[in-house]
Amino acid sequence: MTRALLRPGRRGKLKGLVFPGGGTMTATHRKRRAERPAGAAETVSPGGAGRASSGLWARKAAARCLLTYPSRAQQANSVGRRRRRRPGLGALAAGVPAMAESVERLQQRVEELERELAQERSRRALGGGDGGGGRARIEKMSPEVVDSNPYSRLMALKRMGIVSDYEKIRTFAVAIVGVGGVGSVTAEMLTRCGIGKVKTSLFVYHLGNPITSGVNQLLLFDYDKVELANMNRLFFQPHQAGLSKVQAAEHTLRNINPDVLFEVHNYNITTVENFEHFMNRISNGGLEEGKPVDLVLSCVDNFEARMTINTACNELGQTWMESGVSENAVSGHIQLIIPGESACFACAPPLVVAANIDEKTLKREGVCAASLPTTMGVVAGILVQNVLKFLLNFGTVSFYLGYNAMQDFFPTMSMKPNPQCDDRNCRKQQEEYKKKVAALPTQEVVQEEEEIIHDDNEWGIELVSEVSEEELKNSSGPIPDLPEGITVAYTVPQKQEDSVREVTVEDSGESLEDLMAKMKNM
């Protein structure tokens, strides 16, 4: 008897028996089973003499292996599964067009969703919906003191006499360059103050594509992305990591105050192609399209960007404010720059700018500047305070205000423009400012003599000067020739030689002894 060769199948079972003659146990077993009389036992056992069986060799093999024989349909399914698990190159090539078609459908769907988003933004900009801020837009600021009025505390400034017309805040356009530690908090404060008023159209960058939407008067410029390393500062949140700063800022600020819409630009202003667009938005992005913005705020962290803003504002004659925080995070400053009237950033440039050093070469590998949310919050606060005073015309506007956190010191000063400034547009603005001042009508100043007023007292004593005008004049010295704007606190009188009157005595001819004798007799 030839021993059957067993072929292993799935899950450790034996699929069938293969014999040297090429037949299979499955086919033979079905033939024998069909020939078996009705009612015959189906038991297989070794040696089963006298029992109905499908053959001795089959009974022995089945008893030895205890096989369950698969049908031909099961075998075909098994082969099909194996073929599906290992597709050939032809099948892969056939699936490429279908995959491309799926990608194309997804891209079309994305474009449809972007168009729907743009339409929704336009609808909200025109007054429909709540603008994403959880409340309806407010067309007019109200001083009514109710919990549902977000402007009641701001309008109280008008009632208390600090600001004559706070509603005017909505008529201004402000551009913020740099939405980092200082710029983001500055944008938030101005948004809460209700800066800007809705107008008709705006060019917004969304997902890299231009979209027409509603317009506001708060313009944001930046090209950086939000990172987890920025979480030590204010405003941004961890879930915004990976988004561009202007997109993240727009989303957050829109929810804070839906009355303000935002024009955002996600690019670097220092490149040639972006510089032209930046100047265009500064000169045409005002309340009415075609008019300049009212103020530009520089909240950048490098000198290259500051010089770019300085160049643009000098050429356009645009008033702007510069701000900055030191690398050790314990000091900062703000500066108001009016082209021609005050010193621009190039009039007294930092050493890095004056020496024409590439500041990128100063950065060391693995070393970053320090930053404190407290210092950045203080600088942003005094910057926005100066902006409000400048726009709403109250208080004293600082041309330069510093902050030293180590001594809680706030130095202030004003700087005149440099006639030899390297920026030719700055020199041009200086000449135009001089002509403007010269054209103003001069007002004669009449000095009135102050009347001496004596305080009444019970003794009737009056205090008057015992020094006459002539004596006061004689006690003063000559005034030296000094440059314009400099005076002396006091003058030193010239020294006068004391004149001694000579006394002459006539010679009597008497000797000294005779004179002494006369004195004794007296």
State the pairing for strand pair 320-325/174-177: unpaired
Element (H, E) at 110: helix 89-125
Q: What is the DSSP annotation of 147-182?
A: TT-TTHHHHHHHHTTS-S-GGGGGG--EEEE--STT
CA end-to-end span of the chain: 188
Please state the separation of Cα 254 from the chain's center in Å.
Answer: 15
d(CA 185, CA 297): 12
* Cα pseudo-dihedral 9, 10, 13, 17, rounded to 10: -20
Other C-beta atoms closer than 10 Å to the C-beta of 38 total 4
Largest interatomic CA distance in the chain? 199
Q: Do 16 and 24 meet the contact criterion of CB atoms below 8 Å apart?
A: yes
State the pairing for strand pair 400-404/331-337: antiparallel
Specify whether 193 is catalytic.
no
Q: Which residues contact 199 (CB under 8 A, 6 or more apart)?
A: 215, 216, 217, 287, 288, 289
Q: At what angle do helices 183-192 and 373-392 cross, to 10 degrees?
A: 50
Q: At what angle do helices 245-256 and 183-192 cross, to 10 degrees?
A: 20
> Which residue among the candidates 65, 299, 368, 421 is catalytic per the annotation?
368
Three-state DSSP class for 504?
Answer: coil
d(CA 235, CA 245): 11
Please tell me the chain's helix, strand, coil percentages from 3-state DSSP, rounded to the nearest 5.
Answer: 40, 15, 50
Catalytically active residues, by annotation? 368
